[in-house]
Amino acid sequence: MTAPDGAVRIRPPAGDCAEGLARETARTGFACLRGDRVRQLLPADALEEFRAAWEDLEPDTGIPGGKLFRLRRYGRLRVEVAADGSTSFAPLPHTAFRQDVIRMWRGRERVFAPVPPEVLLHEGMLALVGMDARAATRLGGTSAWEVGVHLIRVLAEPGGEGEPTPEGRHRDGHAYIGMHLLRRDRCGGGLSTVHPEGGEPVRLTLLDPLDSMFVDDSRVTHEVSPIGPLGGTAIRDMLLVDLNPAVPAGG
């Protein structure tokens, strides 16, 4: 529903995964969810409509060396989680994106095409971002979040490869990060490795739509191996969700 202040508010869905995400992340620094669990949060037709947004991305031209294997859009939301788990979402103005914690991007104002308003507040976006925000609230004790959402498609043409993380093993410089697979077609590789502090690396591959990871960025580093084509152009579509405590109004 749309509130008088313009925010969209939703109740926590039946089968919400946020509590399990928070519990496992508190224990290990990260958590994984199978797509079939996450798909319970939204109808199949809403998922397919949301996935269609990845057909309208623009080239990410800022990768060093002029490589053009990645398409992208970026948007921002203020997300607030109430005591009963109901969650509100309000668009924030479009801005440049900075990641000064990563050497490759340090000091750079990266400007990406904006996420259209109808995608930013789509049912699929609210389901995934809401789950991440509720997990972050359980972990961080903060109920208001400034959220960045990145719609990313990595491509690999025959004879080539695409790099989901050209920066290599890294932290992103956020409090928490949600990573959600939307599509993986004709795609080999894409092995995700999570490096917990003081623990052995954990390796897994997101394979099915809505296979997801959630990480405490202060406790782990992560990376994804290049993808390669398996008969035709390889496609790997991801929604990345950056969560940081919101600055209090007037602060």
Question: What does the pLDDT look like over 97-150, one tens digit per residue?
Answer: 787 676 766 766 778 999 999 999 999 999 999 999 999 999 998 999 999 999
- How far is it, in rounded angstroms, from Cα 103 to Cα 106? 5
Residue 8 near residue 121 (C-beta atoms within 8 A): yes
User: Domain-by-domain residue ranges, the chain?
Assistant: 8-203+217-245
- pLDDT band at residue 67, thresholds of 50, 70 and 90? confident
pTM, full prediction: 0.94
- In CATH, which of 3.40.50.620, 3.40.190.80, 2.60.120.620, 3.30.70.360 is domain 8-203+217-245? 2.60.120.620
Instruction: Tell me the H-state helices in 6-70.
Output: 18-28, 35-38, 44-51
Residue 4 has pLDDT above 60, yes or no: no
- pLDDT band at residue 152, thresholds of 50, 70 and 90? very high
- How far is it, in rounded angstroms, from Cα 251 to Cα 248? 5
Average pLDDT over residues 221-237: 96
Enter the tokens of residue 5. Answer: 């202040």
